[in-house]
Amino acid sequence: EVQVVETGGGLIQPGGSLRLSCLASGFPVSSVYMNWVRLAPGRGLEWVSVIEKDDTTYYADSVRGRFTLSRDNSKNTVYFQMNNLRAEDTAVYYCARGVSGFSRGSRFDLWGQGTLVTVSS
């Protein structure tokens, strides 16, 4: 079955760190660009980060310098290291497969069910 499954969410104090994982099945993560999109309470979806096929990464301004995206092709998994977490990072984090290149035609055709990250003291 073609799917992505996110794990690693939880409750963390402000300033803490967390690593999310996105395990893909049915396709190689090395052949696509993989994204993280988050949904905060009372807000809309927010694109957060992408890792392209050549390992180039891009980040939203809100997380640049604090979050790092990486990929382990041997485990078919994408990792999202989140450091210096803030209350406003509280959200459900979704892993999403991208198609049509990370450019003007970019769209996400496969999403996971998400993992909840709660940043609170």
Partner 1 sequence: QSVLTQPPSASGTPGQRVTISCSGSSSNIGSNPVNWYQHLPGTAPKLFIFSDNQRPSGVPDRFSASKSGTSASLAISGLQSEDEADYYCAAWDDTSYVVFGGGTKVTVL
DSSP-assigned letter for residue 42? T
Give every CB contact of residue 93 below 8 A, 6+ residues apart in sequence: 6, 9, 20, 36, 37, 38, 48, 80, 114, 115, 116, 117
Nearer to partner 1, 25 or 113 (CB): 113
Query: Minimal distance in Å, beta carbon 74 to partner 1?
Result: 25
Positions in the binding site for partner 1 (CB under 8 A): 35, 37, 39, 43-47, 50, 58, 60-61, 94, 96, 102-109, 111-114
Nearer to partner 1, 16 or 45 (CB): 45
Query: Minimal distance in Å, beta carbon 16 to partner 1?
Result: 25
Nearer to partner 1, 65 or 121 (CB): 65
Give the C-alpha distances (Å, rounded to integers) separating 64 from 50, 72, 73.
12, 21, 24
Query: Minimal distance in Å, beta carbon 66 to partner 1?
Result: 17
